[in-house]
Structure 1
């Protein structure tokens, strides 16, 4: 009897979820509504732990504290909360738009969230923002950013992919994935 009750309760709950899903799929919303909902979700969703809460309090007191913002974005990444990490890294780039590592981190978080287009755009910005005097310190990240873009563009833009994989190998000639991609692009 208890098992039958549990099954009925489970089915009843699932019916509510299905009904809400169907409503969400059939309701039309404007882009402004979607953007506002996304922004609200980015601010309120996510993982919480003492480190994140402490950093949020510091940022609430001083919103332009880039050190705390970077710490918060990193803490979100460590907790695999990609949406919050991206939103926080974007706050960093709004304050310091020429700081290349933030764009690399946005690319990484987007890639981890399976948003390859967002990752590609961020990695392209990262590549453009690395200053000549910073290249040596950023070789590994540059190699990966170029590789990722080449990988995504191998079908749609093979010439760009060839150029980017050559750049990737220039920065890291030992990356086996990049070497394999380079060989496949040459065929």
Structure 2
């Protein structure tokens, strides 16, 4: 019988959650239409014992971040998803005319970056430095407020953590060294 009260069967949607860097996975039911990708990521991060505020959902096949604002059921269905740890840190960009003796005269630009911990420092900084027309091969990167130079930009962000990075020219670095002595 066909009647006006017939209810359509509920279609259950799934995604495959990849575990860390291993090849193991589990099928996860996507059943709550009120969940955004961000909320779903926080829930999964908690289940995996990760910091809920420092994770993002990534398409395991393309390595692209999945938009955290999208509805989880639609954005994640039939996808292989990996929850990855991210770090948020400040980058201080010194202008060409920056003077260490009077830093107020030409203030530095401070930008907050959020990037995957597994990325190298160079991979995280390259798009930002390109935006401000700074050549990464000519720049000097130091841990903010110190003389500790990041000479190998291949260092993963996880080793730097949430410390501020300061980006300057070679000439500015020499002036920086002079002011610390």
What TM-score does the superposition give when structure 2 sets the normalisation length? 0.25
Higher relative contact order, chain-length normalized (CA < 8 Å, sep 6+): 2
What TM-score does the superposition give when structure 1 sets the normalisation length? 0.25
More helix by share: 1
